[in-house]
């Protein structure tokens, strides 16, 4: 996972790709299966994409796994997602050496029980010296992140802040800004993801449902990204 291949032209360097992994429920429904079944296959797709991001030499990859609004779902589905998450955390710990990435969990961890939170924090601690970042957004909401950042700055006694102060107070403080945000599942919205950080991200939407999204689909999205002309407000 540490192999680096050149990704992009100089004009559009691609350092950070973020994913809104959507469509697991519909994928399962199409197969006459419960939504949880879709999440199980969603994790398989996630693993393959993480591995591919490693091969591509990205500096950061971010995955939206569970939003602050996803608690509204039926308890059965939420429990299934939490179980999948626990399995993944255990897997990460076991295979830590095979991972090129520093693990960072974006979101408010205080809602998780002590055991799960400790596991997340341990993984963050064990990988903290690695330079490339894998952000997993769990109980993440862009608005909540912004309010949390404000409160962190207030607690420090700040009365006025710069953009740099603000960036440093976000969950994503260690990552470059996302260059490309990919949403699967066909919906054309952001759903409370990286609201501040997405200011100049290129957005890519595909109808492909997340469990069907594979490394070749990511390559297609990157090809499209490479064709875009980013102006950042200039000419």
> Which residues would be at the binding site for ligand IPE (CB under 6 A)?
20-26, 64-67, 70, 81, 185, 187, 189, 191
Encoded tokens for 111: 């809602």
* Closer to Mg ion by Cβ: residue 25 or 178: 25
- Considering the complex, what minimum distance in angstroms separates the CB of residue 55 from ligand IPE? 23
| Contact in structure between 39 and 84 (CB atoms under 8 Å) | yes
State the burial class of residue 232 (Cβ atoms within 10 Å of its Cβ: 0-12, 13-18, 19+): exposed
CB 23: neighbour CB atoms within 10 A?
A: 25
Which residue lies nearest Mg ion, judged by its C-beta?
Answer: 22
Catalytic residue status for 22: yes
| Contact in structure between 86 and 115 (CB atoms under 8 Å) | no
State how far Cα 144 lies from the chain centre: 16
The owner of tokens 């959507």 is: 22
Catalytic residue status for 70: yes
Q: Is 179 in the site for Mg ion (CB under 5 A)?
A: no
In the list Mg ion, ligand IPE, none, the entry touching 99 (Cβ below 5 to 8 angstroms by class) is none
In the list ligand IPE, Mg ion, none, the entry touching 230 (Cβ below 5 to 8 angstroms by class) is none
CA distance 41 to 36: 9
| Contact in structure between 106 and 135 (CB atoms under 8 Å) | yes
- Considering the complex, what minimum distance in angstroms separates the CB of residue 27 from ligand IPE? 7
Catalytic pick among 70, 165, 212, 217: 70
Restricted to residues 8-37, the positions that interact with Mg ion (CB under 5 A) are 22
- Considering the complex, what minimum distance in angstroms separates the CB of residue 117 from Mg ion? 25
DSSP-based three-state secondary structure for 216? helix
- Considering the complex, what minimum distance in angstroms separates the CB of residue 185 from Mg ion? 6
* Closer to ligand IPE by Cβ: residue 77 or 174: 77
Question: Applying CB under 5 A, which residues contact Mg ion?
Answer: 22
For the annotated catalytic residues, the residue numbers are: 22, 70
């Amino acid at each position: 996972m540490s192999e680096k291949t050149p990704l992009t032209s100089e004009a559009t360097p691609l350092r950070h790709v973020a994913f809104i992994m959507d469509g697991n429920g519909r994928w399962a429904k199409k197969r006459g299966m419960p939504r949880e079944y879709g999440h199980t296959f969603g994790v398989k797709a996630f693993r393959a994409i993480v591995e591919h991001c490693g091969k591509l030499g990205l500096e950061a990859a971010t995955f939206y796994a569970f939003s602050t609004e996803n608690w509204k779902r039926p308890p059965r589905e939420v429990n299934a997602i939490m179980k999948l998450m626990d399995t993944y955390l255990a897997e990460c710990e076991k295979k830590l050496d095979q991972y090129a990435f520093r693990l960072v969990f974006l979101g408010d961890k205080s809602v998780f029980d002590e055991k799960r939170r400790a596991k997340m924090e341990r993984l963050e601690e064990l990988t903290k010296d690695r330079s490339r970042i894998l952000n997993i957004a769990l109980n993440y909401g862009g608005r909540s992140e912004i309010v949390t950042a404000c409160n962190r700055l207030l607690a420090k006694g700040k009365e006025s802040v710069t953009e740099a102060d603000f960036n440093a107070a976000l969950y994503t403080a260690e990552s470059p800004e996302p260059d490309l945000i990919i949403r699967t599942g066909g919906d054309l919205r952001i759903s409370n993801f990286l609201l501040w950080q997405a200011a100049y991200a290129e957005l890519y939407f595909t109808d492909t449902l997340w469990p069907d999204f594979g490394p070749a689909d990511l390559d297609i999205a990157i090809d499209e990204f490479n064709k875009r002309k980013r102006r950042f407000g200039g000419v």
